[in-house]
A = this chain, B = another copy of it.
């Protein structure tokens, strides 16, 4: 598999441009004792990766603002369905105590509440802790009492981008978002929960992106 490594000549070009900018391709070719044509592929790589900028009628300058649009494009091409996990769900009549046990058994930070596959609520470690310091009897109170209820839950869909999820997670200051699928019950639209995406999924993706040269 090929990787983008700058060649020694490309490194040398960058060094020259940094020293002598603006510098034309003729001047660069002269410095490197090669023809302009021979430099063309290198200069194409360096400008398209945003390392150098070509100023018409001036010459090449070293870009203070390298472009990361490959990263940008890449990130925006990863879909929710590529990174989502299985949601852990409980019924809203489950006691808070049993729900917390569920949370630990499944090692998740958020439980989703459903009724017949339809998303009705969500409850996080933060909600549970808030209740715990409130002194409520967690063996008696059902999770339905403390959960965040639809339609107040931010959600995403399978075809949304990983970028959108991360953005919503940061904007709404939550750890995890349900992934829903729109179906119809007669003429009424219902939201079935089919997955979840959390900061953990984003962090895992980040490790995957940095861990090898390919993803997916």
Contacts and interface: CB of A to CB of B under 8 A. Distances in A.
A149 interface: no
Contacts of A4: 48-50, 67, 69-70, 73
A63 to B, nearest CB: 7
A201 B101 CA distance: 28
A5 to B, nearest CB: 7
| Copy total for this chain | 2
A180 to B, nearest CB: 20
Given A4-B50, A207-B170, A68 B213 contact: yes
24 contacts: A1-B50, A2-B53, A2-B63, A2-B67, A4-B70, A4-B73, A5-B69, A66-B214, A67-B214, A68-B215, A70-B70, A72-B213, A100-B129, A103-B129, A107-B173, A128-B132, A129-B129, A163-B207, A166-B206, A170-B203, A170-B204, A170-B207, A199-B200, A202-B203
